[in-house]
């Protein structure tokens, strides 16, 4: 029997979930687990032979929730650990930071991969103008077999830090990490909101509630943008950004209900 693999994922708009599922399918004998469901646990023991983490790049680094999750993983039984990030175009220091965080808790990162998918950061650009579904599918179809082959062979794939990654991270990433949780202060719902509650359901960390039929954000945000992109009426906006004129995105194979299950603990590890 193939060695078993546990793949933990975090995903706002579905790209990383699709990537994690494709890797699990390619590897066989693999479980896909939502890392958001483990966020209250102090220690996460893992029995699998191989462990993967799949998540988006945020501001040239890893999402805060992932940075907090990695040191809690007990990887003492794992023979091989890999990190695969999905991104709009620039991984920056995401893989390097993953390696450094694991090293600080005494674990090794054996391989790191970056997969260009669809850019979803609507605060900075119009995803519809920058993104291409055809390119995303082509990239994923190329990347998945390569990652699967490397993981099967338990191959070492070193992660590198580029000078541009360091410069951009120094300028933007640190500020993002320091302000991430309260950046939801600039979210609001406009008059198109019909009180359907989808934003409440999809939030992977329970950071949205309805107040008199309108969403209210609670100040422990991960900036995954699931609430904004899955809102069926495109009512959620970011103050000071022209988000009313920009297109919404979520991976076409991923439903709001699937994103909503991220908060729920899977039946077993």
Ligand X SMILES: Cc1cc2nc3c(=O)[nH]c(=O)nc-3n(C[C@H](O)[C@H](O)[C@H](O)COP(=O)(O)O)c2cc1C
Binding site for ligand SF4 (CB under 6 A): 12, 184, 189, 193-199, 202-203, 205, 207-208, 215, 217, 221-227, 231, 233, 235-236
Closest CB to ligand SF4 among 110 and 229? 229
Using the rule CB under 6 A, which residue among 34, 98, 112, 119 binds ligand X?
A: 119
End-to-end Cα separation, the chain, in angstroms? 18
Does the protein bind ligand X through residue 223 (CB under 6 A)? yes
| Percent helix, strand and coil across the chain, each to the nearest 5 | 40, 20, 40
How do beta strands 80-87 and 208-211 pair? Answer: unpaired
Residue 59 Rama label (left phi>0; alpha psi -120 to 50; beta): left
Closest CB to ligand SF4 among 41 and 233? 233
Cβ–Cβ under 8 Å, residues 34 and 63: no
Using the rule CB under 6 A, which residue among 224, 228, 235, 238 binds ligand X?
A: 224
Task: Look up residue 163 and give its DSSP letter.
Answer: H
Site string for ligand X, 178-217 (x = CB under 6 A): ----------------------------------------
Indicate which of ligand X, ligand SF4, none lies near residue 5 (CB less than 5 to 8 Å, by partner kind): none
Closest CB to ligand X among 78 and 95? 95
Cα–Cα distance measured from residue 67 to residue 62, given in angstroms and rounded to the nearest whole number:
6
Closest CB to ligand SF4 among 50 and 229? 229
Beta carbon of residue 116, minimum distance to ligand SF4 (angstroms, whole number)? 22
Half-sphere exposure of 239 (CA within 13 A, CB side): 6
Closest CB to ligand X among 5 and 15? 15
Give the 3-state secondary structure of residue 80: strand
Binding segment (CB under 6 A) for ligand X, from list 65-73, 97-105, 112-120, 231-239: 112-120
Which residues, in sequence order, are CB contacts of 100 under 8 Å at separation 6+?
none
Give the chain's length. 269
Site for ligand X in 48-107 (CB under 6 A): 56-60, 86-90, 92
Using the rule CB under 6 A, which residue among 5, 6, 11, 217 binds ligand X?
A: 11
Indicate which of ligand X, ligand SF4, none lies near residue 262 (CB less than 5 to 8 Å, by partner kind): none
> Can you read off the two tokens belonging to residue 27?
């590897």
> Can you read off the two tokens belonging to residue 253?
């194979």
Indicate which of ligand X, ligand SF4, none lies near residue 227 (CB less than 5 to 8 Å, by partner kind): ligand SF4
Give the 3-state secondary structure of residue 106: coil
Cα–Cα distance measured from residue 147 to residue 150, given in angstroms and rounded to the nearest whole number:
5
Binding site for ligand X (CB under 6 A): 11-16, 56-60, 86-90, 92, 117-121, 223-225
């Amino acid at each position: 029997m193939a060695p078993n693999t546990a793949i933990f994922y975090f995903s706002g708009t579905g790209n990383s979930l699709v990537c994690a599922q494709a890797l699990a399918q390619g590897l066989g004998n693999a479980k896909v687990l939502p890392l958001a469901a483990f966020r209250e646990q102090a220690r996460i023991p893992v029995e699998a032979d191989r462990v993967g983490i799949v998540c988006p790049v945020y501001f040239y680094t890893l999402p805060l929730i992932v940075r907090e999750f990695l040191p809690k993983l007990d990887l003492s039984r794992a023979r091989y650990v890999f990190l695969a990030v999905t991104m709009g175009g620039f991984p920056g220091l995401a893989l390097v930071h993953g390696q450094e965080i694991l090293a600080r808790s005494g674990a090794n990162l054996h391989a790191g991969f970056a997969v260009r998918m669809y850019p979803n950061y609507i605060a900075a650009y119009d995803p519809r103008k920058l993104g291409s579904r055809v390119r995303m599918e082509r990239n994923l179809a190329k990347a998945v077999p390569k990652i699967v082959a490397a993981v099967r062979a338990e191959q070492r794939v070193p992660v590198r830090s580029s000078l541009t990654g360091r410069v951009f991270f120094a300028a933007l990433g640190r500020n993002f990490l320091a302000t991430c949780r309260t950046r939801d202060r600039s979210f609001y719902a406009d008059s198109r909101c019909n009180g359907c509650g989808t934003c409440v359901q999809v939030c992977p960390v329970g950071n949205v509630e309805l107040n008199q039929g309108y969403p209210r954000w609670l100040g422990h945000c991960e900036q995954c943008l699931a609430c904004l992109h899955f809102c069926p009426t495109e009512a959620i906006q970011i103050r000071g950004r022209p988000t009313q004129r920009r297109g919404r995105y979520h991976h076409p194979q991923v439903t709001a209900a699937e994103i909503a299950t991220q908060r729920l603990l899977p039946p077993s590890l």
